[in-house]
Amino acid sequence: MFTSVKAFEGQQYSTLKRQCLQSGLLFEDPRFPATDDSLFYQGNRIGRVVWKRPRELCEDPHLFVDGISAHDLHQGQLGNCWFVAACSSLASRESLWQKVIPDWKEQEWDTEKPDSYAGIFHFRFWRFGEWVDVVIDDRLPTVDNQLVYCHSNDSNEFWSALVEKAYAKVYGCYEALDGGNTADALVDFTGGVSEPVDLLEGQMATDEVARNQLFERVLKVHNRDGLISCSIRATTIEDMEARLDCGLVKGHAYAVTDVRKVRLGHGLLAFFKSEKLHMIRMRNPWGEKEWSGPWSDSSEEWNKVSKSEREKLGVTVQDDGEFWMTFDDFCQYFTDLILCRLINTSYLSIHKTWEEEVMRGSWVHRQDPLRNRSGGCINHKATFLQNPQYVFDVKKVEDEVLICLQQKEKRATPKEGKGENLAIGFDIHRVELNRKYRMHSAQQKVAGSIYINSRCVFLRKELKEGRYVIIPTTFDPGQQGDFLLRVFTDVPSDCKELTLDEPPQTCWTGMCGYPQLVTQVHVLNAEGLQGQDSNGDPYVIINCEGERVRSPVHKDTRCPSFDIKGLFYRKKPKEGIHIEIYNKNMIVDTFLGQVILFSDPNERQEQHTLHLRDKGSRQDNDLPGTLTVRLITSTMLNNI
């Protein structure tokens, strides 16, 4: 996973550490100095800050004391509960935190080898499609000899403060972490795909079926090492961090640290009893202020569960910020859930694997309509199709497709002021099976994401077999930025960018001719195909000037709804277009009939219902069955 880790700002950890050990000097990071510029955008807001190394704060510093735990983290004077909540989730996954904190044993303070200490650490984050290795020194901001920002329960444990410093370096300064999105941090820790779930929109509090389905999804993400966060939406400034009577806090990110089906009862009764409670455990990054309702730490509901089950769940009666709730109560109070999936692309896994395609692109504004790549959303019909376009294939009868669009973040440019994300989103259009040039007129839109000014936009969609085009856009035209498009399918989708507007001119064009006409053939459906004994497995083939487009096979029907399109750039517009129907057979496919269409270049669009005929016949020998076809012709190449 880390074979191509990139050194952040060109700083190589091993080289810098070796230089420090050779010189006998502790590392001082020139790229993130111990000054107010590394703390704030503009001016000091907390008074005199003294930067101190861990050995100046305690006698026996460590990265970890008694291992790593979600309880290690306490939010400091930054409004970065989103980051601390993500760290709490990370701490519960050994396989994940060891990637963010590489070589952790080698980085640990060694009392037996004090000369190996060089005051330098490094951490890794996934940033815009690649892992980056971030080097820092261990000077930490303090006021009155106390850490200002993230800190641990144990005064001599420093992993959380050092990870926070490395993350602040990536963003430019500590203040850049004041207010943010937990989903972004979860993705940065894992390289996964973040899926937001709106519990209000999904009516999870009242729809029991939907709620149970969501619980199974949450449980699956948790069991497959995904990271999860949640929050209660604040609708006003006054609501931010307001505490409810039940102990929960609005506008505040919580880490989900466990998801379980809990057996009710004691002894053998619990083992044989089928009743299980859907439970979820969360942690407040403040390390205090917990849920006080049913199944809170000291509530009498825990008497319904055996002692061994309580021990297994780690139930403690202390105000440590961690607490259990039923999933029903969770959906009653919480409004937003973030599921960060680790997309499994390993061919050796026993779990479902995905095929990933990664595309990098840019929204670039130009005056020339054919070169402009910043056309805005579909509301701007005149410029929408000037955006970048990416084609991909769904090769199964139906496939679940995951699509994630991520913009290059502007938060990490503090010198120009705190950057704001663009409002971004994307649409998916079903296109001709042989589409290989850019779209210039709208096709059938089958799905679309929301438009929001977050770093990532995610969509999960079941799509039928066929070819599709994704159009990632900014909401308004003329806006510029870089983006990363990730497409996950069950089988390879052959995703690629459409860059050409029409067939290119070549040195052979003069001799072989250049297309004079574009024709789109849309085969809609067939009725009453021959085969009286049983239904067949028909498919259709469109032939035009040597190019063939073949539809998927439609199982067990005599009246298939083909709904397929082919696009043909034609040099001989007077020649007919052959449409043939076959029945799929294990040995030899059976011919069911054909029609031949002659398009009129003067007709923009026409629809035909045609009788199927024998091969080679244009007038006689009608066969059982009809075919409905729509033809769209255009004399302008860049008009479809």
Catalytic residues: 81, 252, 284
Q: Which of 433, 590, 456 is nearest to 523 (CA)?
A: 433
d(CA 327, CA 218): 10
What six digits make up the tokens of 422?
A: 């663009």
Q: Cβ–Cβ contacts within 10 Å for residue 471, how many?
A: 24
Q: How far apart are CA 176 and CA 138, in angstroms?
A: 19
User: What distance in Å separates the CA atoms of residue 397 and residue 386, rounded to the nearest whole number?
Assistant: 31
Nearest-angstrom CA–CA distance, 244 and 329: 14
What residues contact residue 121 under an 8 Å CB cut-off, 6+ apart? 107, 135, 136, 137, 138, 162, 166
How far is the C-alpha of 518 from the C-alpha of 521, rounded, in Å?
A: 10
Kindly provide the residue ranges of all beta strands, DSSP E only, lying in 535-589, ordered along the sequence: 538-544, 547-550, 564-570, 577-583
By the 10 Å C-beta count (0-12 exposed, 13-18 middle, 19+ buried), 251 is classed as: middle
Give kind and range of the element (H or E) at residue 17: helix 13-23
* Cα(75)–Cα(255) distance, integer angstroms: 13
CA 604/CA 519 separation, integer angstroms: 10
Cβ neighbours of residue 510 under 8 Å, at least 6 residues apart? none
Whether 366 contacts 155, CB under 8 Å: no
CA 402 to chain centre: 7
**143, two tokens:** 């006021």
Residues recorded for the chain? 640
> What's the angle, vertex CA 143, arms to CA 138 and CA 146, rounded to 5?
65
What is the number of other CB atoms lying within 10 angstroms of the CB of residue 196? Answer: 18
Q: Report the amino acid identity of residue 256.
A: V
The CA distance from 409 to 581, in Å, is 51
Tell me if 488 sits within 8 A of 356, measured CB to CB.
yes
Q: How far apart, in whole angstroms, are the C-alpha atoms of residue 143 and residue 48?
A: 7
Contact 499, 529 (CB under 8 A): no
